[in-house]
Structure 1
Amino acid sequence: MFARVTTYKTGPDTALDPATEADSVKRVMEIPGSRGVYFLTGGEGGKALSITLWDTADAAAASRPAANTIREESSAAQRMQIVDVEEFEVTSRALRD
């Protein structure tokens, strides 16, 4: 599995909107090879993260154009600045039900 992690800068004019987030999640999950999406907010820290998960390195690579569009549109709508986008291989994981 592979992950793409995007770091955003938030500010006083950031407008985190559940409808925008739900639409972004739906669009990402429609991309072939998508395994999941997390969005994390830093509260007062001026920072947010999104993590998308992909079946394979090829799926992650193929998703880049669509993911770039979704990221740019949702960050503009919510008034967040994209700071960094990085990709990683997920080498271990543990989830509790």
Structure 2
Amino acid sequence: MAMFARVSTYKTGPETISDAPSEDIMGRALEMPGCLGIYYLNGKEAGKDLSITLWESEEAMTESREAANKIRAEASAAEKIQIVAVEEFEVTASNLKG
């Protein structure tokens, strides 16, 4: 089964309000059709965070772009973080210890 991922890179700073998105933001992302999950990573390198959303198909990821852009823009404004990049990938290997 193919899976796809959207990886967003953020620049944080002293004015950044939180080290993670709100439950509302996370919930809205998870409600998008085909979204399988979301991870938010705080970088060890100061000022750099990442989010990873996982998608059940390339079509679901593609169809979510507009809604995801809106959610990302609202979250970055609320949390005072800058969106640096948004990239999309096919997940070619995964293994989570259960």
- For normalisation by structure 2, the TM-score amounts to 0.92
Report the CA distance between 1:25 and its aligned residue: 1.0
Match of residue 80 from structure 2: 79
Following TM superposition, the consecutive aligned residue runs of length 4 or more in structure 1 with deviations greater than 4 angstroms are none
- For normalisation by structure 1, the TM-score amounts to 0.93
Report the CA distance between 1:21 and its aligned residue: 2.2
Q: Which runs of 5+ in 1 are unaligned?
A: none
Query: In proportion to residue count, which structure has more helix?
Result: 1
Tell me if the contact between 2:11 and 2:82 (Cα under 8 Å) persists in the aligned partners.
Answer: yes
The residue type paired with residue 49 of structure 1 is L
SS at match of 1:15: coil
Write the distance in 2 (CA, Å) between the matches of 1:17 and 1:8: 11
Number of paired residues? 96
Q: Which runs of 5+ in 2 are unaligned?
A: none
Match of residue 11 from structure 1: 13
What percentage of aligned pairs have identical amino acids? 56
The residue type paired with residue 12 of structure 1 is P
